[in-house]
């Protein structure tokens, strides 16, 4: 019998807020919040730090939590 397909952990589903509970901002270690895309349900999404308000991109449903990829809203 072949082993079960490894489809449970894939980048093929949108991120949810639950995915962020174990992630923190790489700059300030603050908690992260998913920013809904407009219109709702469509990619791309971004992730915003609730402490320093930096915004991180999401590429192929993977959060890019790198300080030099963050954008600071003015
Ligand atoms: Zn932060």
How far is the C-alpha of 55 from the C-alpha of 64, rounded, in Å? 10
Q: Is the full-model pTM beyond 0.85? A: no
CA of 24 to the centre of ligand 1 (A): 8
Q: What is the pLDDT of residues 24-74, one digit of tens each?
A: 999 999 999 988 767 666 665 799 999 999 999 988 888 999 999 999 977
- Going from the Cα of 32 to the center of ligand 1, the distance in angstroms, rounded, reads 8
C-alpha–C-alpha distance, residues 31 and 14, integer Å: 19
Task: Give the pLDDT confidence score for residue 1 in this predicted structure.
Answer: 61
Whole-number Å distance, alpha carbon 14 to ligand 1 midpoint, is 22
C-alpha of residue 70 to centroid of ligand 1, in Å = 9
Beta bridge partners of 46: 35, 57
29: left (phi over 0), alpha (psi -120 to 50) or beta: left
């Amino acid at each position: 019998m072949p082993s079960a397909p490894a489809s449970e952990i894939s980048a093929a589903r949108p991120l949810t807020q639950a995915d962020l509970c174990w992630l923190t901002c790489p700059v300030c270690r603050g908690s992260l919040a998913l920013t809904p895309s407009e219109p709702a349900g469509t990619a791309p999404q971004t992730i915003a730090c609730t402490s320093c308000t930096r915004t991180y991109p999401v590429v192929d449903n993977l959060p890019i939590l790198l300080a030099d990829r963050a954008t600071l809203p003015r």
